[in-house]
Amino acid sequence: MTAVKVLVTGASGFVGEAVVLKLLVDQQFSPIAAARGATRLQGLCPVQPFDLTHTKVLPALDDVQVVIHAAARVHVMNETAVDALAEFRKVNVEGTLSLAQRAAKSGVKRFIFISSIKVNGESTHPGKPFTADDRPNPQDPYGVSKYEAEEALKQLGRATGMEVVIIRPPLVYGPGVKANFLSMLNWLNKGIPLPLGAIRNQRSLVAIGNLVSLVVTCIYHPAAADQTFLVSDGEDLSTTQLLRRIAAALHVRSRLLPVSPRFLKVGAFILRRPEMAQRLCESLQVDIQKTCMVLGWTPPESIDQALCATANHFLQQKNKPISTRR
């Protein structure tokens, strides 16, 4: 049986690299890594240069059956671009559409787009999680760009017959995670007191292993065609619960002070960081019932398993000897 040829963009990033490694392990697929810069995948599989900001140079798609598009201009807390929406559109909409048009012309059967839960919105009310069929309500330039890319891909799929699959993950974490999750690991490991001991929100997360499992399922499952899926670990946690579970995985005592979320929001407003308070204090839940029912899929990894793997990797990296060069 000939292995399915799969091109994965963003292969030097957290999600893209994990997808390629999983495809290599499964041995049912023949992955091609498309990466903007250096990648650890060099030598493990074919690697092609690919930069969404230079869409005139697109990867070759000869005999490629599936494209997994994980490359993007990512959301950042402190955006510095004068016209952020224009910058996001250039990469996440125009770049994505250029790649998808090339894929359709090259005979690619399925295009899997890693979108974002930000297409649904920024927060949910208690007991009312986002669903895949909710009316989109993006609130920031990144979310708007992902929504516009989704719509452009659907239109292209209808016009060409190429199957389009959209996956909207919430916060993705796992071994090697960066950004805010890495900051939490550092704070807890150092025993820094945090004013986050009285937050009773509910937030959905997704471990990298669970996200990759869903992506691989969407490569071959016939029912995935032209569908939009939400994904999570299947268990929602408050910020306080999450920090305690991370501390347990690190084998340290969490030092969480019971400060009212109201005061945290006031403090964030004074510091001109309202987005930080929103992420820490408000709820963002997703309903993965459609994903599970349509695909017969369940998250293979529990939150505690994923947090232990994340914490172990973090500690291993912290304890690595620093090499010295003479």
CA distance 35 to 292: 31
What three-state secondary structure class fits 69?
strand
Tokens of 223: 């029912």
- Taking the C-alpha atoms of residue 90 and residue 101, their distance in angstroms, rounded to an integer, is 15
Cβ 13 vs Cβ 70: under 8 Å: yes
Residue 29: strand pairing partners: 4
**Exposed / middle / buried, residue 103 (Cβ in 10 Å: 0-12, 13-18, 19+):** buried
Q: What is the pLDDT of residues 90-109, one digit of tens each?
A: 999 999 999 999 999 999 99
Strand partners, 112: 68, 165
Q: What is the pLDDT of residue 76?
A: 65
Cβ atoms within 10 A of the Cβ of 142, count?
A: 23
* Structure confidence by residue, pLDDT tens digits, 12-61: 999 999 999 999 999 899 999 999 888 899 999 999 988 887 767 788 89
* CB of 198 closer than 8 Å to CB of 240: yes
Residue ranges covered by each domain of the chain:
4-173+206-234+286-300
108 Cβ neighbours under 8 A, 6+ residues apart: 61, 64, 65, 66, 67, 162
Write the DSSP assignment of 205-222 as a string of letters: EEEHHHHHHHHHHHHH-G
What b/e readout covers 225-260, taking b as 16+ CB neighbours within 10 angstroms?
Answer: eebbbbbbbbebbbbbbbbbbbbbbbeeebbbeeee
The torsion angles phi and psi of 93, rounded to 5 degrees, stand at -105, -60
Averaged pLDDT score across all residues of the chain: 92
Of the residues 142, 147, 173, 220, only one is catalytic, namely: 142
Q: What's the pLDDT score for residue 223? A: 98
Q: Can 173 be counted among the known catalytic residues?
A: no
pLDDT number for residue 74: 84
CB-CB contact of 129 with 286 (8 Å): yes
- Lookup: tokens for 207: 């471990």
CATH superfamily of 4-173+206-234+286-300: NAD(P)-binding Rossmann-like Domain (3.40.50.720)
For residue 135, the SS3 value is coil
The confidence score (pLDDT) of residue 78 equals 59
Q: 3-state DSSP call for residue 30?
A: strand
Supply the pLDDT for residue 169.
98
Vertex 14: Cα angle to 316 and 81 (nearest 5): 120
Joined tokens for residue 68 = 């997994």
Tokens of 279: 């992420």
Strand (E) or helix (H) holding 100: helix 96-105
Q: Which stretches of the chain score pLDDT less than 50?
A: 322-326
